[in-house]
Amino acid sequence: MSNSDSGKGRKPTQKPTGTNSGKKAGPRKAASKASKSGSGRSSRTEATGQDSSTPRSSRSTASGPSKRTPARSSGRTTPSRDSSGSRPARSSGGSAERSFRRDSSDRDATGQRSSRSSSTSKSGPYKKRTPGSAKSGSWDASKRPAPRPRPSASAKTSNADSGKIRLNKYIANAGVCSRREADVLIAAGNVTVNGKIISEMGYKVDPTDEVRFDGRLLQREKKEYVLLNKPKNFITTTKDEKGRRTVMELITRASSSRLPPVGRLDRMTTGLLLFTNDGELTKKLTHPKHGVRKIYHVELDSNLKAGDMASIRKGLELEDGLIEVDEVSYIDGVSKREVGIEIHSGRNRIVRRIFEHLGYQVVKLDRVVLAGLTKKDLPRGHWRHLTPQEVINLRMIS
């Protein structure tokens, strides 16, 4: 038998088709594919006795009861292809028909929701627990921590000590002395509150209490703020044991209250110095964390070299640690002996020590800016009261 005769009764071998074939199927091939797919579906229908377009849930119900609960059918059917291999166009009412099929499965003949769907929603996996039905190891309402009791209005008032201040602060605000000196006067029994001698440290008084020192009635004074353009040869202190002149002599006419200076300037340093009896503002302006801006005009004994200026900008290691400045530059229109330096550090004699560390001597040192305050219209040795806006600006420093 020849090779041609032996191949007669055999089915032609079908070539595998893949996505990488790169050729489009012609009309004849598409038609043959459609006929094969149709014959395959018809054979399955004959074997099972079901139509392929029937939903899966309906097929399982028709074949008999199933052990597993059938999943809800989406009602979607796969349309068959025509002889050209394309799908038929969808009808405009297809989506409405499918939704009606889904809804009709949950409704009875009267149009009401069936008990099956309502019972399923009530007894689903997210069934609400009740304290009586809680099992061991589950939620128990009796074990819930009790809410924290809120403090009453009277407790808040007592904790805040509304309006009360320490007795030593009251005496200091009255301009008698400092707080530390007031503690000594209180311990000595020289202070009375409402006619009763008080020697207890930390005692607090109300604004309406009558406080007397050596029989003299003390009044809480209002807060005042005085700015001075300090000249040379004055010590920044309230009193000097050696009898040297202090800055307090320059502001005697500014106020009858006791106004201590905020910070300090050396005896030979000139410039802006603030005085106030506002303790909170004093603490804010002198604390390093607030970084109060200060600008100095420095005159040296020789020209400042460019390399030394770069070293100052980079930061210098002094005996008490690293010191960094905000800015340093030459002053326009004058020699390189005069420079301007901006710094926020409050260390003692810090500007002089920076230049002495590099081998320079400071001839003149003048503070021209302090926390935004300037020397405009304020001659040397004169003072002025701050404006309300300047006070607001100082209090806004954070």
Q: Is 393 helix (H, G, I), strand (E, B) or coil?
A: helix
- Give Cα 68 distance to the centre of its chain: 55
Q: Is residue 73 a contact partner of residue 58, using CB atoms and an 8 Å limit? A: yes
Catalytic center residues: 266
The tokens of 291 are what?
A: 């970084």
In SS3 terms, 34-72 reads as: HHHHHHHHHHHHHHHCCCCCCCHHHHHHHHCCCCCCCCC
The tokens of 206 are what?
A: 């109300």
CA distance 395 to 398: 8
Question: Which residue type is seen at 290?
Answer: H
* CB atoms closer than 10 angstroms to residue 72: 12
Q: Which of 246, 269, 289, 238 is nearest to 353 (CA)?
A: 269
Distances (CA, A) of 41 to 47, 50, 51, 83: 10, 10, 8, 16
The tokens of 82 are what?
A: 């025509």
What ranges make up the beta strands (E) of the chain?
165-166, 191-193, 196-197, 204-205, 211-213, 216-217, 225-230, 261-262, 270-276, 294-300, 316-318, 321-323, 327-330, 338-343, 362-370, 373-374, 383-385
Question: Which residue type is seen at 147?
Answer: P
Q: Which of 280, 258, 230, 264 is nearest to 350 (CA)?
A: 264
Q: Is residue 259 a contact partner of residue 275, using CB atoms and an 8 Å limit? A: yes
